Structure 1
Amino acid sequence: MLSGVVAALHLGKVSPAIPALQASLNLTMVQAGFLLSLTQLAGMLAGVLIGVFSDGMGLRRSIISGQMILCLASVIGMGARQPDELLMLRALEGLGFLLTTLPTPGLIRQLVSRERLALHLGLWGCYVAIGTSIAFIAGPTLIETMGWQGWWGVPAICSAAMIIWLVRAVPSDRQRQPPESASARWTAVPSEVWTHRLWTTLKASGPWRVGIAFAMYAGQWIAVIGFLPSIYADTGLSVPMAGALTALAAFVNISGSTSAALLLHRGISARRLLMVGYMCMAITTLFAFGQFTQGMPVVRYGAVLVFSAVGGVIPGTLFMLAVSVAPSERTVSTAVGWVQQISSMGMFVMPPLLAKLAGWAGGWHWTWLASGLASLIGLLLAAGLAQDDYVSSMPEKEYL
């Protein structure tokens, strides 16, 4: 989980740095939106292939390779002089992010007993909220003292430390004994193995539906939380205060993910959790950005907190489903990769879309409409779940 938190630190480092990047690199708001979303480019274009690659190369080896890429991209980014340079490096960071995070659910599945799998995968769903919260808390102060270039070096150091820890603490792929026979994984020619894993995953309906549901959540969450520092800075709040408020908004997302882990572990329906989460996100964005709450900052910020906290039940639930809908043990990273590829489209599109919408409308008061449409699609997908879609005993195959 620590590896995922470090990867999420790279993901969240941009938001607190947007004002500094606008001042030093003349970054536009639309470019800032793409800077937030470009880490999703690799996932959007090739998430499933990266998942296949991770399954083939080994889970531990893939995670270490991803951390190396994240470290290298951040170090190079410290010398960027134009927005385009940072944009290209953010796309490279997206590759490292996926190599780090896609194999982790499969690794958890190998290392954790079935009875505790729901709990651990639900907790894994917190990694983005924890990493981005750290970025929002530490970023403003470190940017003021070291500049944005120094801030870019912090997650690079964390990735370097994580590489050392992974090499020493996590058993190698050969040393681990997976639940399924290792010989079954390698009986075919390598090209046949990966194409079979890919086709088996793509023809299953579960990963498609989980991926679309994830896109409807992640796209609006990363857009709303990612732009909060800039939104609050525009209202006259100091950069540290805006960063602290945003950090709290991201941090409370953890309460939703941990709650989902505990509730799924106790056998609560995934359908129920998803419906509550999407309905809450739709309603709270109306209060957070609607014109009828203008001049009511406490109400608006409270709505943002509820948006993130209750919406947090969605990723924990969907991570559990993403693993359970994998056609086999050997396709977990492939299935998670396809889910990530679909969800990355939402995370890639929503931030610049909201920025464009805000520019067209002259403010953020129509944000609730885009968020509401995304939540409606998520609700429709959640409503299609069977009442017995999930039980904590984890049967061999479960479908969304």
Structure 2
Amino acid sequence: MTGTNWRMVGIAFGAGVVAAMHIGKLPPAIGAIREDLGAGLVMAGWIASTISAVGTLTGLVAGGLADRAGPRRTLVGGLLALAFGSLAGSLATAPALMLLARFVEGIGFTATTVAGGILIARATSEADRRRAMARWATFMPLGFTAMLLVSALMTGPFGWRPVWLIAAGITLLWAGIVLRATGAGDGGEGRRDGGRSLGASLALDLGRTGAVLAAVCYGLYAAQHLGMMTWLPTILADTRATGPLAAALVTAMVLMANAGGNLLAARALGRGAPIWRLLALGSLGMLCVELLVFSAGLPDALRLALLVLFGLAGGLIPAAALAAAPVYAPSPALVGVLTGLMVMATNLGQLAGPPLMASARVAAGDWSGTVLLLGGLAVAALVSALASARHERAARAPAPLPG
């Protein structure tokens, strides 16, 4: 396309923010849900991460299907699934029913985030695409933070169930906005790549080693980030006797720093910074924080500064990873498959992170026992980022002249 359709970019971005709300509503409410439904700590971790299970299983295929069915239709369907899952969750009376409701939300989250990325890639010009895809990454911290604060304010006086109903209502409202404000010619139609089957498209994209390494780094980041964000209010309550609202505000500060990292990465990418370098810097920054933040006797002000740095450094990673999809895709029609790969990777990390942290905490007897887990994930992410450097240089190299 010759120009950027910023209206479509804004609508897709708003849908991503709405989807992220369904992850952010849980951390302040997790204690109330455990008490109400009789769930243990590890089960609560699975309730937190089950929304990511569908993305883990189907994110890659979802990207190809959204390309063919049309991202606009997929986006609306995803928002409706999120709303239905949140409504069902508000009626749950047992941990198993809550897990099922979160699974339905996972269908919606995957469809919405995959379709949103495809719409933004299609709606932007070549000059704007990398920056727009990097800024798209801010949907997660913004939506997460907004609903985190709402949940923290409401769960104490009103309980957690009204929070789930509010999230469902906002999601239905945005689905209506998407239907009303978009139509034919907005880039939301289905496409096929030269008549290739979905399987052939998947095989072609998965042959891009650099994209796979970027996705691995993104997934490892997600495990660390969502693990920390899910349990941070609980960690602060256990170790510092912090109240629910104060803990939610600290978590919100970390998430806003994460959004700031997204924007810093978008600015750097707009100036030509390599994707692998941003992935590596983000992974290194998270590693340094994780080695220090659980230290006994650390002053609270320094601990808070480290948590903010954790969010800021980590924010470089999703922006860079999402910007990698157009770089590595063999053709514009295959951007959806690589976007799905990134969604699958981050959902796998989100699925594993909270229960892994809970298990490490139970095994060690305190939260400092999670350092080895988090540090190991950060080191693996750093190695993946560095290994992707030569593949990115090859992908950006100009094609040789014929003959």
Do residues 258 (structure 1) and 271 (structure 2) align?
Answer: no
Q: CA RMSD in A?
A: 2.3
- Identity score, percent: 28
Name the amino acid aligned to 2:192.
Answer: R
**How many angstroms does 1:280 deviate by?**
0.7
Structure 1 counterpart of 2:357: 354
1:367-378 mapped onto 2 (5 Å cutoff): 367-378=370-381
**Structure-2 change in CA distance of 1:151 and 1:212 (3 Å):** same
What secondary structure does 1:366 align onto? helix
Q: Does structure 2 retain, via aligned residues, the 8 Å contact 1:74–1:155?
A: yes
Q: Does structure 1 retain, via aligned residues, the 8 Å contact 2:67–2:191?
A: no
1:71-150 mapped onto 2 (5 Å cutoff): 71-150=83-162
**Structure-2 change in CA distance of 1:59 and 1:395 (3 Å):** farther
User: Which deviates more from structure 2 when the two are superposed, residues 65-74 or residues 280-289?
Assistant: 280-289
Q: Does structure 2 retain, via aligned residues, the 8 Å contact 1:324–1:394?
A: no
Q: Which runs of 5+ in 2 are unaligned?
A: 1-12
Determine which of 340, 343, 346 is the counterpart of 1:340. Answer: 343
Do residues 224 (structure 1) and 234 (structure 2) align?
Answer: no
Q: Does structure 2 retain, via aligned residues, the 8 Å contact 1:78–1:152?
A: yes
**How many angstroms does 1:98 deviate by?**
0.7
What secondary structure does 1:389 align onto? helix
Name the amino acid aligned to 1:194.
Answer: L
Output the CA distance in 2 between the equivalents of 1:82 and 1:60: 35
Q: C-alpha deviations, 1:200-246, integer Å up to 9, x for none?
A: 22333233212211111111000011101111122321111111111
Do residues 327 (structure 1) and 334 (structure 2) align?
Answer: no
What secondary structure does 2:21 align onto? helix
**How many angstroms does 1:388 deviate by?**
9.3
Q: Does structure 2 retain, via aligned residues, the 8 Å contact 1:123–1:261?
A: yes
Do residues 195 (structure 1) and 202 (structure 2) align?
Answer: no
Q: Does structure 2 retain, via aligned residues, the 8 Å contact 1:273–1:314?
A: yes
Output the CA distance in 2 between the equivalents of 1:183 and 1:217: 31
Q: C-alpha deviations, 1:344-379, integer Å up to 9, x for none?
A: 222212211110110111111022221211111111
Q: Does structure 2 retain, via aligned residues, the 8 Å contact 1:140–1:239?
A: yes
**Structure-2 change in CA distance of 1:128 and 1:94 (3 Å):** same
Output the CA distance in 1 between the equivalents of 2:390 and 2:60: 29
Do residues 214 (structure 1) and 214 (structure 2) align?
Answer: no
**How many angstroms does 1:315 deviate by?**
0.7
What secondary structure does 1:267 align onto? coil
Do residues 65 (structure 1) and 77 (structure 2) align?
Answer: yes
**Structure-2 change in CA distance of 1:285 and 1:338 (3 Å):** same
**Structure-2 change in CA distance of 1:395 and 1:106 (3 Å):** farther
What secondary structure does 1:81 align onto? coil
**Structure-2 change in CA distance of 1:236 and 1:184 (3 Å):** closer
**How many angstroms does 1:88 deviate by?**
1.2
Name the amino acid aligned to 1:368.
Answer: V
Structure 1 counterpart of 2:248: 243
TM-score of the superposition, structure 1-length normalised?
A: 0.90
**Structure-2 change in CA distance of 1:377 and 1:58 (3 Å):** same
Structure 2 counterpart of 1:366: 369
**How many angstroms does 1:48 deviate by?**
1.3
Q: Which runs of 5+ in 1 are unaligned?
A: none
**Structure-2 change in CA distance of 1:200 and 1:388 (3 Å):** closer
Structure 2 counterpart of 1:185: 192
Which aligned segments of 4 or more residues in structure 1 are displaced greater than 6 angstroms?
A: 393-396
Do residues 285 (structure 1) and 290 (structure 2) align?
Answer: yes
Output the CA distance in 1 between the equivalents of 2:340 and 2:207: 14
